[in-house]
């Protein structure tokens, strides 16, 4: 009986807490918060192990684990409550404090309000425990004959359990409904956005930037094929009507707060830019090119009075924060060096898709995404590299990470069967903000042969290449390397993505029957 009342109290606590979380912030719910806190504190080795054993289910396994521990804890409290009412209440409050600390300690925490769901949950648990324990221990008011179990209000207990369970289930469903409504609201908010025409349209692409070969990545990556990399358990939902961006910090003479409309009223520029993820393995697919529309970040910084370190500015790091608490640090010098660093509102002619950072994301050509491309951005703080380590830097990734010059063979695919005779080998090469000068291919470790380059697009985009190969029968290894316009040729030295990006030549093994 005690264990049952504990379970019911735990259930009520969770239902009420998650309902409160919908009102406060979905991520402040105790299970998500404790789960997130656990992920942040898990040593890399354990994380690797969990990912290897549970794969993409690792987050679910973690949440089930949390529920299990919670259930056992709740049953213990229920039993305790029969004899030590105060101790049990204190136990429930401890649960609340753990949840509250986890929620407010998350990197995306908005502060004290995030403690509310856990505290409300704990209070609910205490109330339910008191109610049910009372039914189990209080003598029935008008009990002349203590015939059955003395002091047990059996009917009251059953009614209490049923009532609390029903109420909690109702609260849980209401939470789910409101949550779904939030997702629809974000999509509806995006549907209201009308993007103005750019004051500075994207430079016309020269003919022949896209070789349009079968199996070769198109020059512009369709949005539906654009890679997605982020830590968001649920895609953040932002309402453009209430969204603001704050720009503040060291050396900011005039802090700014801008609404979405404020941004759209500024002159917009449109640019083709290739983005790359630092986690991209050699030959990997975390790279893509899109036509971005946005405000030039340097203009905003200048307006706020920010000077680059080279001109005596006190801040060398720009920290971007997203609505989901991600932090990314970018060198101020790079943002102000004349390149098209953007606060983007559009991607390939549409408002940013929710998964790619709606309503506004940052983008800095030539830097890996994790040090520049903050999605769902809400805050920009000028600080120093000494003073602050953003999310991934705290996890051993490099604080500064320019994109490494890379090339990839798109066709033929690994282990493809290629017909003997003339075959086309083709792919892409990128060295954003430097440009690609040369691509070479070799077969079976032979001499490097120059590939033909597609027409050169803007300096921040990748470049296609192709090479005619006289394929002879046998198994062959094709390798590619690029040289950028600074004269640097890709090293064959293999490096893993961590800490600052993979290196090495992409190779593909094919069979010619």
Ligand X SMILES: Nc1nc2c(c(=O)[nH]1)N[C@H]1C(S)=C(S)[C@@H](COP(=O)(O)O)O[C@H]1N2
What is the C-alpha separation between 465 and 216, in angstroms, rounded? 9
Shortest separation between residue 227's beta carbon and Mo ion, angstroms? 9
Give per-residue burial for 318-350: e unless 16+ CB within 10 Å, then b. Answer: bbbbbbbbbbbbbbbebbbeebbbbbbbbbbee
Which value, to the nearest 10 degrees, does the dihedral of the CA atoms of residues 409, 506, 372, 267 take? -20
Q: Applying CB under 6 A, does 506 fall inside the site for ligand X?
A: no
Asked if 345 and 263 count as a contact pair (C-beta separation under 8 A), the reply is yes
Q: Applying CB under 6 A, does 324 fall inside the site for ligand X?
A: yes
- Radius of gyration (Cα) for the chain, nearest Å? 29
Closer residue to ligand X (CB): 6 or 369: 369
What is the C-alpha separation between 434 and 258, in angstroms, rounded? 32
| Strands (E) located in 230-316 | 244-249, 256-259, 269-276, 287-296
Q: Applying CB under 6 A, does 374 fall inside the site for ligand X?
A: yes
Q: Applying CB under 6 A, does 360 fall inside the site for ligand X?
A: no
Residues 271-310 that bind Mo ion (CB under 5 A): 277-278
In sequence order, which residues have a C-beta less than 8 Å from that of residue 293 and are 6 or more positions away? Answer: 195, 198, 268, 269, 270, 344, 345, 346, 347
Residue 481 binds which entry of ligand X, Mo ion, none, with Cβ cut-offs from 5 to 8 Å by kind? none
Shortest separation between residue 277's beta carbon and ligand X, angstroms? 3
Q: Applying CB under 5 A, does 23 fall inside the site for Mo ion?
A: no
Number of chain residues interacting with ligand X (CB under 6 A): 18
Number of chain residues interacting with Mo ion (CB under 5 A): 5
Shortest separation between residue 404's beta carbon and ligand X, angstroms? 14
Which of 26, 117, 366, 369 is close enough to bind Mo ion by CB under 5 A?
Answer: 369
Residues 167-196 that bind Mo ion (CB under 5 A): none
Residue 230 binds which entry of Mo ion, ligand X, none, with Cβ cut-offs from 5 to 8 Å by kind? ligand X
Residue 155 binds which entry of Mo ion, ligand X, none, with Cβ cut-offs from 5 to 8 Å by kind? none
- CA 118, chain centre distance (Å): 24
Burial of 287 (0-12, 13-18, 19+ CB in 10 A): buried
Shortest separation between residue 376's beta carbon and ligand X, angstroms? 5
- CA 168, chain centre distance (Å): 32
What is the C-alpha separation between 359 and 295, in angstroms, rounded? 13
Asked if 374 and 362 count as a contact pair (C-beta separation under 8 A), the reply is yes
Shortest separation between residue 247's beta carbon and ligand X, angstroms? 17
Q: Applying CB under 6 A, does 292 fall inside the site for ligand X?
A: no
Q: Applying CB under 6 A, does 512 fall inside the site for ligand X?
A: no
Q: Applying CB under 6 A, does 358 fall inside the site for ligand X?
A: no
Closer residue to ligand X (CB): 324 or 437: 324
Closest CA to 249 of 312, 178, 330, 304: 304
Q: Applying CB under 6 A, does 277 fall inside the site for ligand X?
A: yes
Closer residue to ligand X (CB): 63 or 223: 223
Residues 303-322 that bind ligand X (CB under 6 A): 322
Q: Applying CB under 6 A, does 231 fall inside the site for ligand X?
A: yes
Which of 157, 370, 397, 505 is close enough to bind Mo ion by CB under 5 A?
Answer: 370
Residue keyed to tokens 């690609």: 436
Q: Applying CB under 6 A, does 228 fall inside the site for ligand X?
A: yes
Q: Dig out the tokens for 90 from the structure.
A: 């204190």
Q: Which residues bind Mo ion (CB under 5 A)?
A: 229, 277-278, 369-370
Contact positions vs ligand X (CB under 6 A): 226-231, 275, 277, 322, 324, 326, 356, 369-370, 373-376
């Amino acid at each position: 009986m005690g264990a049952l009342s504990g379970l019911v109290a735990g259930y009520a606590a969770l239902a009420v807490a998650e309902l409160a979380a919908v009102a406060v912030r979905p991520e402040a719910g105790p299970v998500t918060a404790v789960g997130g806190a656990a992920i942040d504190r898990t040593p890399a080795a354990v994380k690797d192990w969990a990912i290897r054993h549970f794969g993409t289910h690792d987050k679910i396994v973690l949440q089930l684990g949390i529920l299990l521990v919670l259930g056992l804890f709740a049953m213990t409290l229920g039993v305790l409550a029969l004899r030590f009412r105060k101790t049990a209440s204190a136990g429930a409050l401890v649960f609340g404090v753990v949840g509250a600390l986890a929620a407010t300690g998350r990197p995306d925490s908005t502060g004290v309000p995030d403690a509310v769901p856990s505290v409300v949950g704990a209070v609910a648990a205490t109330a339910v425990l008191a109610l049910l324990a009372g039914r189990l221990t209080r003598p029935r008011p008008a009990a002349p004959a203590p015939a059955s179990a003395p002091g047990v209000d059996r009917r009251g207990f059953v009614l209490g359990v049923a009532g609390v369970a029903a109420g909690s289930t109702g609260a849980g469903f209401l939470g789910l409904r409101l949550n779904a409504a939030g997702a629809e609201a974000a999509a509806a908010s995006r549907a209201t956005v009308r993007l103005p025409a750019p004051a500075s349209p994207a430079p016309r692409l020269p003919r022949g930037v896209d070789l349009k070969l079968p199996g070769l990545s198109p020059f512009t990556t369709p949005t539906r094929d654009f890679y997605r990399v982020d830590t968001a358990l649920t895609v953040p939902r932002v309402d453009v009507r209430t969204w603001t961006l704050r720009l503040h910090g060291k050396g900011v003479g005039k802090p700014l707060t801008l609404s979405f409309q404020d941004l759209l009223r500024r002159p917009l520029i449109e640019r083709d830019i290739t983005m790359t993820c630092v986690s991209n393995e050699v030959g990997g697919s975390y790279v893509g090119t899109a036509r971005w529309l946005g405000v030039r970040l340097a203009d905003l910084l200048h307006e706020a009075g920010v000077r680059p370190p080279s001109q005596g500015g006190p801040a060398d790091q720009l920290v971007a924060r997203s609505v989901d608490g991600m932090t990314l640090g970018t060198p101020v010098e790079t943002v102000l060096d004349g390149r098209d660093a953007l606060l983007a509102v559009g991607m390939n002619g549409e408002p940013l898709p929710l998964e790619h950072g709606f309503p506004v994301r940052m983008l800095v050509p030539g830097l890996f995404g994790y040090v520049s491309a903050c999605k769902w951005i809400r805050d920009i703080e000028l600080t120093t590299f000494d003073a602050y380590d953003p999310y991934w830097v705290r996890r051993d990734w490099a604080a500064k990470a320019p994109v490494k010059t890379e090339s990839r063979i798109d066709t033929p695919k690994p282990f493809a069967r290629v017909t003997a005779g003339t075959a086309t080998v083709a792919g892409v090469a990128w060295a954003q903000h430097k440009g690609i000068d040369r691509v070479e291919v070799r077969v079976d470790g032979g001499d490097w042969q120059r590939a033909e380059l597609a027409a050169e697009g803007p300096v921040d985009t990748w470049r296609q290449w192709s090479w005619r190969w006289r394929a002879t029968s046998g198994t062959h290894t094709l390798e590619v390397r690029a040289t950028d316009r600074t004269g640097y040729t890709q090293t064959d030295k293999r490096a893993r993505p961590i800490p600052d990006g993979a290196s090495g030549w992409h190779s593909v093994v094919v069979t010619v029957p």
